[in-house]
Amino acid sequence: MTAYLERRRARVAAAWGLSDEIVLVGAGHPISIPGGQDQTYPFLSHSEYFYLVDRECEGGLVTFDPKEGWTDFVPDVTEDERVWEGRTDVDGTPLSRLPAWLAARSGRKVAMLGVAQRDVAADVTVTAEARERLQQAIRPKDEVELERMRRATAATAAGFAAVRQLIRPGMTERGLQVELETGFFRHGAERTAFGTIVGAGSNSGVLHFTPGERRVGEGEHVLIDAGAEIDRYASDVTRAYPAGTPGGFFRELYEVVLNGQVRGIARCRPGTEWREVHLAVARDLAEGLVGLGILRGSPDSLVEQDAHALFFPHGLGHLVGLGVRDASGYLPGRKRSTRFGLAFLRCDFPLQPNYVITVEPGLYFIPALLNDPERRSRYRDAVNWAKVDTLLGFGGIRIEDDVLITPGEPDVLTAAIPKTL
């Protein structure tokens, strides 16, 4: 086994700290597309399995016995698979030996991670604890992971460079998506890390917009949130581009978001609570909205009232790496806030060296949020509703980079993608 996988497994075993319980981590199986088309969705091994084995293996299973170490169980390759898919044998212990392996350990508690194996009686508590500890062990990215992320980022940068020059009135969202993803694939991407978001005009205010045939209008802008994936490692970038010369309001709002994002990135230091970075950026955005005459009051008190969340209704970011969400989550014992301005945080933990986290503030004019009479009443004094009414078709602006936490200055992995107007 490669040295980096040995190091990973040793780190995970130490994090589990087990004496008697055993752990199974399943890769999972392809999922059929309904309708008898003889097709499956693209197969990706469960990320918990992939992290420990670093290969795609349909039906694969890695086990850990604290008394004996790791075993890689692999399915036998059938003749059909050799004929139709060109599959060859994979190194490992034949899966047919798993029942005997389990029988020899009967009576010991089992943690079942990855995709659950049928017919294995797992202990719910032991499973939850092992999963939490594995998630924490996955968070800091090792050199192999970072090298892949840098390649994914380079492919992403190539796609953004290609699409940027094509943004002009008349282009469709779908047409821009095609050029962007072509750039990714020409530069090594194997897949997109998630469904590409391209929203023109008011569509830029739909947080996860699926591009369609809408054309970019004169004086509108386009929001693109996309990333390439290589060897299972993801990149996740958002930029907003004006079609032609940016209008006054676009420029003003853009500067507010960019300022919040740049200052937020600078706060990404080891030991800093992610929730505090989020709140500091929320405060900067609120201050900017006061400057634009959209919010009224002191930025601190506006954030305390969650007034910023009317225009910034999502968390500041999430871990990215092995997949677009990597091992995001909350420290054990922490619960989601019920506050409107904090409930959507995907992460709640102190930042640590080698975490990679997205910093992606945005400001939007979302009719579904802003036309709600209850909110209009609660924030009667905090919001200049007459001005908001003129902006309900504007959409939104988000700016997102992937930031590697280091012992010193944060390292912006996606810095090659320009974000100045």
Instruction: Tell me how far the alpha carbon of residue 182 is from its chain's centroid.
Output: 21
Shorter beta-carbon distance to Mn ion: residue 61 or 265: 265
Shortest Å distance, C-beta 284 to Mn ion? 19
Shortest Å distance, C-beta 260 to Mn ion? 15
Which span (47-55, 227-235, 300-308, 352-360) binds Mn ion, by CB under 5 A?
A: 352-360
Which span (8-16, 116-124, 350-358, 413-421) binds Mn ion, by CB under 5 A?
A: 350-358
Interface with Mn ion (CB under 5 A), residue total 2
Shorter beta-carbon distance to Mn ion: residue 101 or 160: 160
Shortest Å distance, C-beta 349 to Mn ion? 17
Shortest Å distance, C-beta 227 to Mn ion? 8
Which span (30-38, 91-99, 351-359, 413-421) binds Mn ion, by CB under 5 A?
A: 351-359
Shorter beta-carbon distance to Mn ion: residue 164 or 346: 346
Shortest Å distance, C-beta 318 to Mn ion? 6
Under rule CB under 5 A, which residues in 219-248 are in contact with Mn ion? Answer: 236
Q: Please provide residue 172's backbone torsions phi and psi, each rounded to the nearest 5 degrees.
A: -90, 155
Shorter beta-carbon distance to Mn ion: residue 152 or 388: 152
Shorter beta-carbon distance to Mn ion: residue 82 or 208: 208
Shorter beta-carbon distance to Mn ion: residue 60 or 315: 315
Shortest Å distance, C-beta 405 to Mn ion? 16
Under rule CB under 5 A, which residues in 82-111 are in contact with Mn ion? Answer: none
Shorter beta-carbon distance to Mn ion: residue 8 or 275: 275
Contact with Mn ion (CB under 5 A): which of 127, 196, 358, 414? 358
Shortest Å distance, C-beta 317 to Mn ion? 6
Shorter beta-carbon distance to Mn ion: residue 145 or 236: 236
360 vs 238: CA distance, rounded Å: 8
156 forms part of the interface with Mn ion (CB under 5 A): no
Contact track, Mn ion, 309-348, x by CB under 5 A: ----------------------------------------
Shortest Å distance, C-beta 344 to Mn ion? 13
Site residues, Mn ion (CB under 5 A) = 236, 358
